[in-house]
A and B are shown apart, each in its own frame.
Chain A
């Protein structure tokens, strides 16, 4: 299995600011994804982080709001820009690939509260 580390694990952010979440995987993986989980809800896929190219965003999510980087096969960042209280959520990094038996593994999540 892949071990995925995310930071920060929790943060309280001021409205209008931006925060970057980092995700580190302990092995090279083919795919990395970013999900959002709003309180009491299921997971919503934000985007697929592509190594060396622009991320692929799902409907309802745009690069200006959620810029994503993936400079190599083990690391990715998600920035939540110009935050509002509606962005208060858990942001989950995940990874999958042949090395993980094509199973998707998750980090512990970054719990953001916007005030």
Chain B
């Protein structure tokens, strides 16, 4: 079946620290992979995506690479800011259907 396993939170970092949030998946077919961000009091926004193996998605300084061999899509940012404080969700879209699957979310707090 399809599922997403996401790094447990919460994560607290100092400003300018390096961020990694781990995400691994199981899927049938060839899924597309996504990271969504939810800022306090808001809905989910697409952060980045990758649709095939070895693709790298990037946006706002965040990056994630679709690794088929390790079934992973880890989110990274070289230098976090206070404004990056949010909950981050890893997700996949099944390659064989229209279903989307979400991880449990990782809460990130960046302190000055």
Q: How large is the interface on A (under 10, 10 to 19, 20 to 34, 35 or more residues)?
A: 20 to 34
B interface SS class: strand
B32 to chain A minimum Cβ distance, whole angstroms, is 6
CB-defined contacts of A41 to chain B, threshold 8 Å: 104-105
CB-defined contacts of A43 to chain B, threshold 8 Å: 44, 89, 102
- Complex Cα–Cα for A28 and B88 (A): 28
Interface status of A104 (Cβ within 8 A of chain B): yes
A12 to chain B minimum Cβ distance, whole angstroms, is 16
CB-defined contacts of A49 to chain B, threshold 8 Å: none
Given A42-B102, A43-B102, also A104-B43 (CB < 8 A): no
- Complex Cα–Cα for A33 and B105 (A): 19
Given A102-B32, A104-B91, also A96-B98 (CB < 8 A): yes
Q: How large is the interface on B (under 10, 10 to 19, 20 to 34, 35 or more residues)?
A: 10 to 19
Interface status of B17 (Cβ within 8 A of chain A): no
CB-defined contacts of B44 to chain A, threshold 8 Å: 43, 92, 106
Interface status of A72 (Cβ within 8 A of chain B): no
CB-defined contacts of B51 to chain A, threshold 8 Å: 102
User: Scoring B residues 65 to 89 as 1 if CB is less than 8 Å from chain A, else 0, what string do you get?
Assistant: 0000000000000000000000001
Contact check, B93 vs A102: say whether CB atoms are below 8 A apart: yes
Interface status of A31 (Cβ within 8 A of chain B): yes
7 smallest CB-CB distances across A and B, nearest first, come from A108-B43, A109-B43, A106-B44, A42-B104, A43-B102, A106-B43, A42-B105
14 extra interface residue pairs, beta carbon distance < 8 Å, beyond A104-B100, A108-B43: A1-B46, A31-B98, A41-B104, A42-B89, A48-B98, A96-B93, A96-B100, A103-B32, A103-B34, A103-B46, A103-B93, A104-B46, A104-B91, A106-B36
